[in-house]
Amino acid sequence: MPIVEQSTYKAPLFCANPHVQTIAPTIFRRVRGVAYQRERIPTPDDDFLDLDWSRVGRRSVAIVFHGLEGNSTRSYMLGMVKALNRGGWDAVAVNFRCCSGEPNKALRMYHSGDTEDIHQVVSFVASAGTYEAIALIGFSLGGNVILKYLGEKTPFVDPRVKAAVAISVPCDLSGCASRLDEPGNRLYAKRFLRLLYDKIAAKARQYPDHVSVADYASIKTLKEFDNRYTAPLHGFLDAEDYYRKSSCKPFLGSISIPTLVINAADDPFLSRSCFPEAEAAASAHLFLEAPSCGGHCGFMSFRDNGVYWSERRAVSFLRDMIP
């Protein structure tokens, strides 16, 4: 317990294929009606984080974190923010470093285990004194970071943080990297490498003595990228050291607030090790729901004014867990 044995998600006709679920929303989904107000906050290392607010004047707020190479304007972020607002929540969409449209000042960027920036944002939102309840919602990389944060920093998490939802979470980063290196999934890794190039090129211009894009085209996998860039830029020995220290799975048993993990069984990004069944079974707080289909950050739905199932499920979980 608490493993959700029967998920309510049913894919629309012709949308059960995991690659359709993963790719189609990115290309075709348009979410309208979200008007952000941007706020920039400083970080302790003299850098900044850009937050995009969508307020409806409530005493509860959800902080939403995107995935690898995402930002606050991705359709899955906008869809979640819109559903939260409709469900009576203020929402703030966080742009990780270098993801808000402006390069950050520091040499470092963002990564899957960066709980310090999460803590900075949560502390900032809580310090305003506006909210009685705070929820955390994360997609993919963002889901891994919030789960690691909740387990790693349990004594330091603000007591107003009452619940969390993590969607399409690579709980085991090494397993996820291996999965993305499979022949049928390499198109995803290729896309990520193309997007990441722009950020690395910007850092090379800022810090030519520390970062180079020479022979970037020779990098074929995310593990190779992490070995060359992510690990050394953020103090890890190599990619495997980064994966081992940044994966949320070892921290799940320490989570002490109601937390829902939604990972589709057919997610092309996730290895079997990314489904924390034993951890959920042993926990009083960690709920694991694994629909048979849904792809990666998919869970498409064509009813309820375009709100996706994962968005309805997240808002419903928060409503049930936070009186």
304 is catalytic: no
Q: Give the start-to-end residue ranges of the domains of the chain.
A: 3-185+251-321
Instruction: Give the pLDDT score at 201.
Output: 96
Instruction: Give the pLDDT score at 4.
Output: 81
Instruction: Give the pLDDT score at 277.
Output: 95
The CA-CA-CA angle for residues 132, 134, 140, to 5°, reads: 175
127 is catalytic: no
pLDDT in tens, 6-58: 899 999 988 889 999 999 999 999 999 999 999 999 999 999 999 999 999 99
254 is catalytic: no
Q: Measure the CA–CA gap between 252 and 150, rounded to whole angstroms.
A: 8
Mind listing the pLDDT tens digit of every residue in the chain (323 residues)?
Answer: 477 888 999 999 888 899 999 999 999 999 999 999 999 999 999 999 999 999 999 999 999 999 999 999 999 999 999 999 999 999 999 999 999 999 999 999 999 999 999 999 999 999 988 999 999 999 999 999 999 999 999 889 999 999 999 999 999 999 999 999 999 999 999 999 999 999 999 999 999 999 999 999 999 999 999 999 999 999 999 999 999 999 999 999 999 999 999 999 999 999 999 999 999 999 999 999 999 999 999 999 988 888 999 999 999 999 999 97
Catalytic residue among 52, 90, 266, 267: 267
The CA-CA-CA angle for residues 88, 36, 64, to 5°, reads: 60
User: Cβ distance 2 to 279 under 8 Å?
Assistant: no
Q: Which single residue is written with the structure tokens 């995009």?
A: 52
If phi > 0 it is left, if psi is from -120 to 50 it is alpha, else beta; for residue 99 that is alpha
Instruction: Give the pLDDT score at 10.
Output: 92
Torsion of CA 241, 94, 19, 185, to 10 degrees: -20
How crowded is residue 245: how many other Cβ atoms within 10 Å of its Cβ?
17
* DSSP assignment string, 67-113: -TT--TTSHHHHHHHHHHHHTT-EEEEEEPTT-SSS--SSS----TT
Polymer length in residues for the chain: 323
Question: pTM of the prediction?
Answer: 0.96
Instruction: Give the pLDDT score at 305.
Output: 83
Instruction: Give the pLDDT score at 13.
Output: 84
Helix (H) or strand (E) holding 262: strand 259-262
Instruction: Give the pLDDT score at 118.
Output: 97
Number of H helices, E strands in the chain: 11, 9
Instruction: Give the pLDDT score at 323.
Output: 76
Instruction: Give the pLDDT score at 145.
Output: 98
Fold of 3-185+251-321: Rossmann fold (3.40.50)
Phi and psi torsions of 187, nearest 5°: -65, -30
Catalytic residue among 66, 72, 296, 301: 296
Catalytic residue among 72, 140, 168, 301: 140
